[in-house]
Amino acid sequence: MASARDIKRKINSVSNTQKITKTMKMVSAAKMRKAIEAMQSARPYSAKLAELIKELSNRAGGNAEHAFFEAKEEVHTIYLVVVTSDKGLCGAFNSNVLKAAYNFTKENKGKTIKIVPVGKRAFDFFAKRGFEIVEKWIGFGGKYTFNDAVNVGRLISKSFINGNADEVHLIYNEFKSTSSQVVRSKKLLPLAVESGSEPKYPDFEYEPDVTVLLDSLLPQFINTSIFQSMLESVAGEHGARMVAMDNATRSAGEMIKKLVLNYNKTRQAAITTELLDIVNGAEALK
């Protein structure tokens, strides 16, 4: 049985841990507010750009003339962009994405899967399992800029156009609420746009023409999709960490209560033993 001194030492240790988890929760809450604002500001632009791409593609008379729409007859090589965090202590946030990405590699068994990790957790996971890493983006600490997304987009776009990648897929966490993040998986390239639908907007005169405009917007659409996934992931990471640290703080509090109760029992038992020794000693002197 542990002594009162050992239990007291455990109480102090758990109390210090509780202070750390409580502080981390407050830090994540502050960062999450800013991350949500950035994410929500980018969502309308991403949605409107996707809508514009669809509209212009239909007006261009189909999508077969554009390299980003050309589906390969046989898919041999797939680039998989996996967005995670650099740090842990955020519950199942990273493990859910990594599980979905790993299942994707199993579903495409027989094809060459090359990983483009955005976040240290994704890089460590796939590097340990022997997957080929095309290029990694780690150490940003969630502070992504649009230029970072442009760099990722430029890599996958060139690889697709040059034939190094037959398809490009993206897996990330979409932010729903503080306690809820949903894993999303979507094909970035080749782009799939419904053709033949009724135009949503009146026809305009394009200078020089709609095809040139579409060619300039397609890379922007890829970059925006990647940047949006980064922002969603950052917001989800802070939300998941805030919940995880809150649970850890509560668990530490419950543990402290049990340790204090155990400490009081042990201390009471020690006092009782000392009293019995005194009484027995007094009886022996009679």
Distance of CA 282 to the CA centre of its chain: 70
Distance of CA 224 to the CA centre of its chain: 17
Are 100 and 46 in contact by the 8 Å Cβ rule? The answer is: no
Quickly count helices (H) and strands (E) in the chain: 5, 5
The C-alpha atoms of residue 10 and residue 190 are separated, in whole angstroms, by: 57
Set 36, 90, 214, 218: catalytic member: 90
Half-sphere exposure of 281 (CA within 13 A, CB side): 6
Query: Catalytic residue at 90?
Result: yes
**Burial letters 243-277, b for 16+ CB under 10 A, else e:** bbbbebbeebeebbeebeebbeebeeeeeeeeeee
Q: Could you tell me which residues come within 8 angstroms of residue 116 by beta carbon, excluding any fewer than 6 positions away?
A: 79, 80, 81, 82, 133, 134, 135, 136, 137, 152, 155, 156
The side-by-side arrangement of strands in the sheet containing 77-83 is 132-133, 112-118, 77-83, 167-177, 180-189
Structure tokens at 130: 């022997």
Are 217 and 59 in contact by the 8 Å Cβ rule? The answer is: no
The C-alpha atoms of residue 101 and residue 128 are separated, in whole angstroms, by: 14
Longest CA–CA span in the chain (Å) reads 117
- Which residues are part of the catalytic machinery? 90
